[in-house]
Amino acid sequence: MGETRGWIAGGAILVAFVSTGCMQLVRQWELDGVITPVHEQLADHETRISANASAIEGMQSDIDELRDRMDQLQREFGGHVSDSDMHGGGLAVSLPVHFDFDSSELRAVDRPILDAFAAAIAGSFPQARITVEGSADQAGSAEYNMRLSQARAESVRDYLVRNGGLDADNIAVAAMGESRLVNEETGVQNPQSGIENRRATFVIEWAGS
């Protein structure tokens, strides 16, 4: 009788041990089923992060090259290039692109400047967003000069697209009117003066508008 009870007790212990082991195996299997997808997702994220880092590094290289090209244009044609007011998001570029009195037609002398500008953009950073800003002198009404400066900006944009091969979707225009006078003393009484106020300037953005 005592031996029978011993066998029963031993069997119970063995069943409990086997059951506990099975529960542990099932739980490990379930855990593996949860962890494996997580590891796969982490590996995918790491791959994407690495790809993004490479893309950012490549874009920064393009930006640096474009800065160098704009500086070269500044040395060759004069003007001014600055990123001080762009918060790292682009460049403000002023090149000697000017207009005759009461005209929005591009001058022949300014076309090589626009050709070089377009080549620099296309060669270094074709995805850059460009805003062409047209300006006017003080002769005429403010409303008329706003329309004239709009037409000047559009003339430059059309030339950059037609002759420079730039993407029209990446070029916006802005009419500045008389709001950015370089010299307030010229262009009112004498139509032959004030050409420095009748100009186009550029904003190149790579961090969005």
Each residue's pLDDT, cut to its tens digit, for the chain (209 residues) gives 545 444 444 444 444 444 444 455 556 666 666 677 766 677 666 666 665 666 566 677 888 888 899 899 889 998 888 886 665 678 899 999 999 999 999 999 999 999 999 999 999 989 899 999 999 998 889 999 999 999 999 999 999 999 999 999 999 999 999 998 888 766 566 667 788 999 999 999 985 44
Q: What is the pLDDT of residue 119?
A: 96
What Å distances lie between residue 135 and 38, 159, 193, CA to CA? 58, 17, 15
- The C-alpha atoms of residue 151 and residue 40 are separated, in whole angstroms, by 56
Residue with structure tokens 């790292």? 88
Give 58-205's CATH code, choosing from 3.40.50.800, 3.40.190.10, 3.30.930.10, 3.30.1330.60.
3.30.1330.60
Q: What is the pLDDT of residue 186?
A: 62
In 10 A of CB 206, how many CB atoms? Answer: 18
- The C-alpha atoms of residue 40 and residue 107 are separated, in whole angstroms, by 61
Q: What is the pLDDT of residue 187?
A: 57
Instruction: Indicate the residue type of 152.
Output: R
Q: What is the pLDDT of residue 40?
A: 66
**Beta strand pairing call for 129-135 and 171-177:** parallel
CA-based nearest residue to 180, from 167, 198, 163, 155: 198
The reported pTM is 0.70
Q: Are the CB atoms for 116 and 76 separated by under 8 Å?
A: yes
Phi, then psi, of 144 in degrees rounded to 5: -65, -40
